[in-house]
Structure 1
């Protein structure tokens, strides 16, 4: 029998994991948004009436909220956790943010685990790579594997180590998206898009740049606000390391300003075709 667990946050990640694992008999979920609580109930999960109901007695909790709510969720819900419960913070936030969240969870008598999700949950689902750190990382790795996750690895006993890997990696991943968008906006404004893309194709053949540009811009249009929040945490990570986040701060701005720009999708798809 799968281990009982609770999901805090039922957005893309929470609903994807729950749907892939078939946790209906053993899982509960809570989200601040009523429509998402309804979606969780529609998938057969319990806990839609209150966060206390969702967390009651759960030995394993997955925190899957937005980056700007990760610390608040840990502080607000820690007193509701069962003694010794594992709070797996799977949110994309800076190591310092996770250490602050860990203090709240530990003070409540539960165990905190820093979890870094290293790929989009689609299409990987439960095969998405997870890095875990913290004193309870080994216990959490066993619990997560028992619930169906198949790509789990511990990277140390220090809270913040897993998130440092994720945040520093994000400097490149999200930064490339932002640079791509900036290049495409300029190329289209100058009327030289085809020539620019062709020149890039000539120097790198791994993937046509028209397809890569379309993909990167679609990611920003669809998830720009969430990614901007994550990149703010990446900037904070660099600052904590004594590195001025010049390009990373620019990525935050570009991700945020392109969020929801559906008009850019038509242009980028047209070029990709």
Structure 2
């Protein structure tokens, strides 16, 4: 039986969850949310955001699920299955469950078994680019037997959803394989540009890249990639571990994906230590010039070598 969507529950109230909450509340949709950080230092920040936008924070995932016609899971990749499992006790008959997470096809299928086994209707979602700046209009691929039924309902709420396949795993495989390239390019640029800066040949390297790929603005890409990885390296590292898992499950050693995950995690570690300035400052990092961030990395390496 189809179920109208009047209430939406957000599992995960981080950057993506809050953007979705803001845009859904602007459309007068009732929104509930729960995040494991409600029990930590970020509790006050989450409560303030919820109060400002009229989002009711719930005590746990099961309580959220019991109030929701549509559940959207937007957590880190490593938590996608466990988050769904914790929501299962509250999932009612025909409750929609949209998995927004950057997880492997196998993880999506495992989550679907949990949700569908509880009477819900699971649909996998693959977010095909960064949520900001398009926000709720970010390109979204849907997959699974119930994807076609959910698509018009999502688009009526302001999403830009498109069915990729009625087979689970196709949308997530598309996302994961794309991430091998996109996140890998971020990692390669950071590695190449930082090493070039250390050797004093960054201008020559960039000039050569411009000559080889004249349509790409390498200076701007360098600054953008450094900023994005500094701010979101932890989440990107988890996504790349899922990409590596996706590659490994089809029988190919994920040499590039695994290396990218390590580089993203390294940048996240440096950001957590405060070496790139305080998170949340304009431009994501303390400096919008990639050279400044590369110099910080080089200085750290020199200190470690002494």
Distance 2:162 2:123 in 1: 12
Deviation of 1:76 (Å)? 1.4
Question: Is residue 11 from structure 1 mapped to residue 14 from structure 2 by the alignment?
Answer: yes
Mark the CA change 1:87 to 1:157 in structure 2 (over 3 Å): closer, same or farther: same
Q: For residue 33 of structure 1, what is the aligned residue in structure 2?
A: 37
Choose which of 227, 233, 240 in structure 1 pairs with 2:242: 233
Deviation of 1:121 (Å)? 1.0
TM-score by length of 2: 0.83
User: Structure 1, residues 112-158: CA drift from partner, whole Å, max 9, x if none?
Assistant: 11100001111101210000001110122122112211x21111111
Q: Secondary structure at the match of 2:36?
A: coil
Deviation of 1:159 (Å)? 1.3
User: Structure 1, residues 80-128: CA drift from partner, whole Å, max 9, x if none?
Assistant: 1121111100000100011111111111111111100001111101210
Q: Secondary structure at the match of 1:121?
A: coil
Conserved? CA contact 2:8–2:29, under 8 Å: no
Gaps of 5+ in 1: none
Conserved? CA contact 1:231–1:248, under 8 Å: yes
Distance 2:286 2:202 in 1: 15
Deviation of 1:66 (Å)? 0.9
TM-score by length of 1: 0.92
Conserved? CA contact 1:57–1:82, under 8 Å: no
Gaps of 5+ in 2: 278-284, 294-306
Q: Secondary structure at the match of 2:163?
A: strand
Aligned residues: 271
Distance 2:120 2:94 in 1: 4
User: Structure 1, residues 217-265: CA drift from partner, whole Å, max 9, x if none?
Assistant: 1111111110000000000000111111011111011111012151786
Q: For residue 69 of structure 1, what is the aligned residue in structure 2?
A: 79
Question: Is residue 268 from structure 1 mapped to residue 290 from structure 2 by the alignment?
Answer: yes
Computed over aligned residues only, the root mean square deviation of the Cα atoms, in angstroms, reads 2.1
Conserved? CA contact 2:64–2:87, under 8 Å: no
Deviation of 1:206 (Å)? 2.0
Deviation of 1:51 (Å)? 3.2
